[in-house]
Chains A and B, each alone.
Chain A
Amino acid sequence: MGLLSSRISITRYKVAGRLDGSVHETVYRALKQHSIPEIEDDGSETMVGWTSFEYPYKPDFEGYSFVFGAHMVFALRIDKKSIPPKLVQKHYALKAAKHLAETGRQFLSGNEKKAIKEQVVNSLNRRIPAIPNVYDLVWHYKDASLWFFSNLKSANEALETLFIKSFGLPLIRLFPYTTADLKAGLSARERDLLLKLEPSRSEE
């Protein structure tokens, strides 16, 4: 999913707004603050954060290493733990049987079943390593545009959420309407006409 891959997928964005103060310093601080946590035994299922383009498994933004010429290049990392359902089933059955034996009862209530399943999932989440997915991005600050190297819906949603949280700037995805509205250099009158467009087939 990277800039240097042999096959590339790109989702294009417009970055709305500008940063206050020194751009590189502000970006550096935000990247550091929201970088991917290095703790492996965290109980959460998914962890999302920034990482460096050059060293995605050891985030390092020192010396503004994310600056490449006029561009800023870094990456979004999503670490996800994926527990096989059969493993949950096995540990749930063992724990439920133990609980029944300890309490001397025949059946578990709905709430007990739910609580045992949550305990099992949390416990497995702590023991299973997360699978990292790295998605590079290029931020052209001068042009207020950004390329994200994935078309995956979940990765794009994670990017949009983390970007505004980190930099305070919303990302506007460029699809036909937004490209026409924001990138085609239309006049106010032309933008009004754009709003009124209907599919050609129904105009025939």
Chain B
Amino acid sequence: MLDIAVSYNRYKFLGDEFLTWLWFMIETDQNRLCRYDPDLVSLNIGSRMVLENTRNNAKETVTIKGQDANLEEGLLALKKGAVVTEIHLSYKSGDQHWQFNLKGESLNISNLKLPETGPVETPEDLEGAVIEKIYLIEKVVGLVNNLFSHFIKLRISNEWRNQTVFRIRNWAMSLGKRPPDIDPE
């Protein structure tokens, strides 16, 4: 295997492309995401997204945040060739709900909010609470691993080069275009 520090920097673009692909999939193909994760009820963009454009040797960063954030700025950046470097996700499975941040370059999970669990009131409650928390965290770690594994297999295939890149580009370019106004006359 490659040196860790070298491979971290050399391939960090894969994490950013993964998040960009994930945004595209969330917006265009939830059914396929459900096939990747049979327990998935929904996966949506949460309250924060960071995009970076490093074309032309200059770094431009766009941060969108807030509940019901308008993603138009992000779409505009995407059209100019930016990639998503950080994303906040809202994940529902069964009747439970998780929220977390995912960073492209490291695939680190942060600000993870788990579904509500019972309070730990006695020392005897602790073991059960720990095992329940581990189970709930495993759902998110498993989701990320699962989605990333599907992405990486697609990424090394010809389908990525011949179809997916164009589909993502077309999706980005088609967004924000309003349908032509129809004259009632």
Chain A contact residues, majority secondary structure: mixed
Q: Which residues of B contact A201 (CB under 8 A)?
A: 55, 81
Please report which residues of chain A, range 1-33, place their CB below 8 angstroms from some CB of chain B when the two chains form the complex. Answer: 3-4, 6-12
Decide if A73 is an interface residue (CB 8 Å cutoff).
yes
Bound complex: CA of A73 vs CA of B106, how far in Å?
23
Q: Which residues of B contact A194 (CB under 8 A)?
A: 152, 156
Closest chain A residue to B12, Cβ basis: A176
CB <8 Å contact, B107 and A175: yes
Within the complex, which residue of A172, A182, A197 is in contact with B14, where a contact is CB–CB below 8 Å?
Answer: A197
Decide if A83 is an interface residue (CB 8 Å cutoff).
no
CB <8 Å contact, B17 and A177: no
Chain B contact residues, majority secondary structure: helix
CB <8 Å contact, A184 and B153: yes
Q: Which residues of B contact A110 (CB under 8 A)?
A: none
CB <8 Å contact, B105 and A185: no
Q: Which residues of A contact B141 (CB under 8 A)?
A: 10, 12, 147
Decide if A186 is an interface residue (CB 8 Å cutoff).
yes
CB <8 Å contact, A68 and B17: no
Bound complex: CA of A147 vs CA of B5, how far in Å?
20
CB <8 Å contact, B165 and A177: no
CB <8 Å contact, A7 and B113: yes
CB <8 Å contact, A174 and B107: yes
CB <8 Å contact, A179 and B7: no
Beyond A68-B130, A176-B14, A177-B14, whether A7 also contacts B112 by CB under 8 A is yes
Bound complex: CA of A69 vs CA of B138, how far in Å?
14
Beyond A71-B134, A177-B8, whether A9 also contacts B14 by CB under 8 A is no
Please report which residues of chain B, range 80-114, place their CB below 8 angstroms from some CB of chain A when the two chains form the complex. Answer: 81, 103-114
CB <8 Å contact, A200 and B165: yes
CB <8 Å contact, A8 and B1: no
Q: Which residues of B contact A186 (CB under 8 A)?
A: 152-153, 156
Bound complex: CA of A201 vs CA of B161, how far in Å?
10
Bound complex: CA of A3 vs CA of B127, how far in Å?
12
Q: Which residues of B contact A126 (CB under 8 A)?
A: none
Within the complex, which residue of A9, A178, A185, A193 is in contact with B110, where a contact is CB–CB below 8 Å?
Answer: A9
Within the complex, which residue of B11, B107, B127 is in contact with A197, where a contact is CB–CB below 8 Å?
Answer: B11
Beyond A175-B106, A177-B8, A181-B1, whether A3 also contacts B133 by CB under 8 A is yes
Beyond A68-B130, A172-B4, A176-B107, whether A6 also contacts B113 by CB under 8 A is yes
Residue of A6, A178, A200 contacting most chain B CB atoms (<10 Å): A200
Decide if B2 is an interface residue (CB 8 Å cutoff).
yes
Measured CB to CB, the residues of A under 8 A from B are 3-4, 6-12, 53-54, 68-69, 71, 73, 138, 147, 151, 172-186, 190, 193-195, 197, 199-201, 203-204
Q: Which 5 A-B pairs have the closest CB atoms?
A: A177-B11, A176-B15, A176-B14, A184-B149, A193-B156
What are 18 A-B pairs at a CB distance below 8 A? Answer: A4-B120, A7-B113, A10-B108, A54-B126, A68-B134, A69-B131, A71-B130, A138-B134, A151-B108, A151-B110, A172-B4, A178-B1, A180-B152, A182-B1, A184-B152, A185-B149, A197-B14, A199-B13
Beyond the given pairs A9-B111, A175-B105, 6 more chain A to chain B contacts, judged by CB atoms under 8 angstroms and listed by A's residue number, are A8-B109, A8-B113, A12-B107, A173-B8, A186-B152, A199-B17
